[in-house]
């Protein structure tokens, strides 16, 4: 694979991939490893992908599969699908509150969301993939993605509300948003 093409690919996708990996692993170093691993797999076999436009989906899918491969929690994930209905519009913090929050704190809230919902939710908020592409990547029906987004947002709102109430009593600014361990 020509090195210029690889460099272009890395430059275009390594940041969103890292953010996605961070939401999965909850650790900056693990997220970095997972991102690297994804590109190394590409370096080994990515040339077999004939459609350049599919590279983004391929990278996200590969990263997610690598994450799953390194961890065994399938039973719990299946069980989560059987949870009850979503609370109708749970109370959400005002947008101003979210805007005023530290980015690291928001990511921590995102990481509190159950993984089944967190994966599509993170991809949705990164805005790189449509709900259809997310469905393809996770190999689930579109309706399932919509449902998971709905449940994921409800859990995220609840987590933000908890953080907000906690922050009122104890404010700990988080200035460095790069390369940190979040849990």
Partner 1 sequence: MNNEEAKFILQGYRPNGADAGDTTFVAAVEQAKKDPALGEWFAKQQAFDAAISAKLAEIAPPADLRAAILAGGKVTAAGAATQRAWWNHPVWMGLAACLAIVFATAVALWPKQASAFGDFIYADAKLSATHGGQGHETSRLQAVLNDATTRLGQKLPINFEELSGTGCRALNYRGHEIMELCFKRDGVWFHCYIARIADYPMVAMTDTPTIVDRDGTSVASWKDAEHLIVVVSKSGRRSLEALL
Place of tokens 């907000």: 164
Q: Report the residue from 60, 64, 117, 124 that binds partner 1 according to the rule CB under 8 A.
A: 124
For residues 10 to 49, the per-residue mask of contacts with partner 1, x marking binding by CB under 8 A and - elsewhere, is: xx--xx--xx--x-----x---x--xx--xx-xxxx----
43 or 167: CB nearest partner 1: 43
The conformation of residue 181, written as its DSSP 8-state character, comes to: B
Residue 183 interacts with partner 1 (CB under 8 A): yes or no? no
Nearest CA to 128 out of 7, 29, 14 is that of: 14
Residue 59 interacts with partner 1 (CB under 8 A): yes or no? no
75 or 96: CB nearest partner 1: 96
Nearest CA to 87 out of 145, 156, 144, 151 is that of: 151
CB of 179 to partner 1, least distance (A): 4
Q: Report the residue from 49, 80, 92, 140 that binds partner 1 according to the rule CB under 8 A.
A: 92
Q: For the CA atoms of the chain, what is the radius of gyration?
A: 17
Q: Phi, psi at residue 181, to the nearest 5°?
A: -90, 125
Residue 146 interacts with partner 1 (CB under 8 A): yes or no? yes
Residue 58 interacts with partner 1 (CB under 8 A): yes or no? no
47 or 73: CB nearest partner 1: 47
Residues 60, 9 contacting (CB under 8 angstroms): no
Residue 106 interacts with partner 1 (CB under 8 A): yes or no? yes
Q: How far apart are CA 47 and CA 100, in angstroms?
A: 43
The conformation of residue 127, written as its DSSP 8-state character, comes to: T
Q: Report the residue from 122, 137, 155, 163 that binds partner 1 according to the rule CB under 8 A.
A: 122
CB of 159 to partner 1, least distance (A): 11
Residues 143, 151 contacting (CB under 8 angstroms): no
């Amino acid at each position: 694979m020509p090195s210029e093409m690889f460099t272009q690919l890395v430059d275009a996708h390594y940041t969103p991939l890292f953010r996605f990996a961070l939401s999965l692993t909850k650790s900056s170093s693990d997220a970095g490893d997972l991102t690297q691993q994804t590109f190394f797999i590409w370096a080994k076999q990515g040339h077999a992908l004939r459609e350049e436009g599919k590279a983004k989906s391929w990278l996200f899918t590969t990263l997610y599969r690598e994450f799953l491969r390194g961890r065994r929690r399938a039973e719990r994930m299946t069980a989560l699908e059987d949870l009850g209905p979503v609370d109708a519009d749970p109370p959400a913090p005002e947008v101003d509150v979210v805007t005023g929050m530290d980015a690291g704190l928001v990511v921590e809230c995102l990481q509190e969301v159950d993984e089944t919902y967190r994966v599509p939710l993170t991809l949705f908020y990164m805005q790189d993939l449509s709900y259809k592409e997310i469905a393809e990547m996770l190999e689930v029906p579109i309706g399932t993605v919509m449902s998971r987004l709905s449940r994921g947002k409800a859990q995220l709102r609840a987590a933000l509300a908890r953080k907000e109430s906690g922050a009122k009593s104890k404010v700990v600014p988080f200035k460095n948003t790069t390369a940190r361990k979040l849990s």
